[in-house]
Structure 1
């Protein structure tokens, strides 16, 4: 007879780790100074700003835009955030940049990050001159886990007010206290709370049993 199966770990789980800021600097295409990180009150105009970015992406790529999602804090009603619209874009092969990048550059998006070792992630920066909002467009391929993690985190915050409130308060506090000029340094200072919220999101997912420490 076989014994009971050990608890499973959620397929989107990953261990806690901080970003290596030297490695982050190495994958940046453009080295540019950044304004201090500022966390602002939630703005009801953010969904419309996302719609404008998504429309530009789809017009530029047509059917090559396999999926477009509003992610990050501006996608969560009632959550304070940096005034930057985060978007996940899925294309057939991010590494095949000639197949999609020139058209996005023509539409006003500029490549800022290239990470072949991170699911072939690319990040492009866009701007909306009418609203004054920047956008970060994260490009992944169809099998990437990171976009699915982003959607799970977004949806959990949308439906769990205590985590949404704690996350917003923490972001405001560290932004005010540290005056970050590097967004990745800011991300590192909130990483432990992000990890804890992911743990609760995984545990609440009825489709997958979750044990963060499988034996």
Structure 2
């Protein structure tokens, strides 16, 4: 588990992960932390649980909007755990009926699937039981809450990455790639503090 937990995942630069084709670039806006974000998560989580019932093994608020005080894209990130993300017929129709649309399929990365919801704007990330990415997201969230200096460093990296990606007309995966070096620096401190590396 610790090896998977500390291993870096590089998103492919080709269009292989996109369901329905590569999206058009959209300006990336970083907003000041909004205390309404947790309530939006609860609204979306209730929608997911109503759609899937006991097939939803876990529904958790992750990403920047889950960190109090952190500026972020106003997009709620949700980690959904199901029995088998690769078994799309077991959960995808219900989520589509609830208004979510499949946009990413990444079999090589823990069978990750990502769905979009329009209003409130959200990304629903689908993982399997015991997925190390979910644990890493939990750890990172708590680390930023407990270490305001790293929260500030990460926030600065997000602002710079958004500005550069917008100037270059890039899609959001390139924005993510631009802030990755700072994330990896923070991960290194986080993993070392736990004796994982």
Name the SS of the counterpart of 1:111 in structure 2: strand
- What is aligned with 1:134? 121
Structure with more relative contact order (C-alpha pairs < 8 Å, separation 6 or more) = 1
- Higher mean alpha-carbon deviation, 174-183 vs 95-104, is at 174-183
- What is aligned with 2:196? 210
Task: Tell whether the 8 Å contact from 1:125 to 1:137 is kept in structure 2 after alignment.
Answer: yes
Q: Within the alignment, does 1:158 sit opposite 2:149 as a pair?
A: no
Q: Within the alignment, does 1:105 sit opposite 2:96 as a pair?
A: yes
* TM-score, normalization by structure 2: 0.92
- Higher mean alpha-carbon deviation, 26-35 vs 133-142, is at 26-35
The CA deviation string for residues 89-130 of structure 1, in whole angstroms up to 9 with x for no partner, is 0000111111110000000000001111111110000122xx
Which aligned pairs between 1:135-214 and structure 2 lie closer than 5 A?
135-179=122-166, 180-205=169-194, 209-211=195-197
Q: Within the alignment, does 1:14 sit opposite 2:12 as a pair?
A: no
Aligned-pair distance for 1:20? 3.1
* Number of residue pairs aligned between Structure 1 and Structure 2: 193
- What is aligned with 1:26? 16
Aligned-pair distance for 1:59? 0.5
Name the SS of the counterpart of 1:44 in structure 2: coil
2:55 to 60, 64, 75: 64
Aligned-pair distance for 1:203? 2.0
Higher helix residue share = 2
CA distance in 2, matches of 1:104, 1:210: 36
Aligned-pair distance for 1:173? 2.1
Name the SS of the counterpart of 1:12 in structure 2: helix
Task: Tell whether the 8 Å contact from 2:165 to 2:174 is kept in structure 1 after alignment.
Answer: no
Which aligned pairs between 1:20-99 and structure 2 lie closer than 5 A?
20-22=12-14, 25-31=15-21, 32-99=23-90
CA distance in 2, matches of 1:27, 1:74: 24
Task: Tell whether the 8 Å contact from 1:67 to 1:90 is kept in structure 2 after alignment.
Answer: yes
The CA deviation string for residues 11-60 of structure 1, in whole angstroms up to 9 with x for no partner, is 61114x643311xx211002232411111111111101111110100010
Task: Tell whether the 8 Å contact from 2:165 to 2:171 is kept in structure 1 after alignment.
Answer: no
Task: Tell whether the 8 Å contact from 1:72 to 1:154 is kept in structure 2 after alignment.
Answer: yes
CA distance in 2, matches of 1:97, 1:19: 21
